[in-house]
Amino acid sequence: MFGTRLAAAMDEHGPLCVGIDPHEHLLASWGLPASAAGVREFALRAVSELKGSVAAVKPQSAFFEQYGSAGVAALEETLAAARGAGLLTVLDVKRGDIGSTMGAYAKAYLDPASALAADSITVSPYLGFGTLEPAFELAAAHDKGVFVLALTSNPEGAEVQHAESDGESVAGTIVSRVRQRNAQTLGSAEGPGPFGLVVGATIGTAAHTLGFDPSDCGGPVLAPGVGAQGAGRDELRAVFGDRALASGQVLATASRAVLSAGPDGLADSAVALNRALTAAD
């Protein structure tokens, strides 16, 4: 299952996932145009340089989509290149819809027959957790993963994620539902489940204040916010605790902190950040 594959990759390469976010200022710093061609060159170069250095990469779909069909074609090439390089992919699409529409999104990103298929995707549960079932079903059928937004670091998220229903926060309910869905999928099998959470690395003690452990989901946790957004090992420890970090459950995501090193310094920057995240106290 995806959870086992990800755990093995993290054990081999460390907990770092590098976001492939071709911001215009990064394209300029790499000497590339703000165009589909520039994004394509940026992303393919990043994949090539990061091969063998990190467990996974996380292309942000929006930065490709903004350039229309040529940008989407560049995303397809990036996902194919990552597969060829042995890098697991987390496609950051944050899709969330109902019924057949969610089923179509699932096919687009989780069906191996699709040119946009990734190893895992991010999804939003805020139209109701049950609406994500097509993604869970297709992921389980094809050894893919799903990361569900639970507790994000943007200040606007608190009005929904911190809200309470029947004495439990919305974010806490998401954790419980992901844990249940993993248990259902795993059955009697051992190991981490294929379904995880997105929990910001810079939220501090917010989860504990709301009364739940974000690592208690039975699967991996994607933790954006490392590096340029201010999180390091201490911040990860504050959010997830030593047990989750030591078990290799937390996939820490950095983008600008690595990408700003430029194409020639990319691998060294990723290796250094991986070491910093795993350094002994």
CA dist 155 to 72, 98, 151, 152, Å? Answer: 30, 26, 10, 8
Of 51, 94, 107, 144, the catalytic one is 94
Alpha-carbon distance values, 106 to 61, 154, 194 (Å): 15, 26, 15
Amino acid at 192: P
Terminal Cα-to-Cα distance of the chain (whole angstroms): 33
Longest Cα–Cα distance in the chain = 54
d(CA 83, CA 130): 30
Sign of the CA dihedral 8, 13, 16, 20? negative
Task: For residue 255, give the 3-state DSSP assignment.
Answer: coil
Residue 94 falls in the annotated catalytic set = yes
Judged by DSSP in three states, 260 sits in coil
Exposure of 188 in the CB half-sphere (CA atoms within 13 A) = 0
Tokens of 186: 């795993």
Which amino acid does the sequence have at 38?
A: G
User: In Å, how far are 19, 205, 259, 261 from 233, measured between CA atoms?
Assistant: 18, 14, 19, 20
Distances (CA, A) of 226 to 38, 151, 250, 260: 25, 15, 12, 14
What is the identity of the amino acid at 148?
V
Q: What residues are annotated to the active site? A: 94
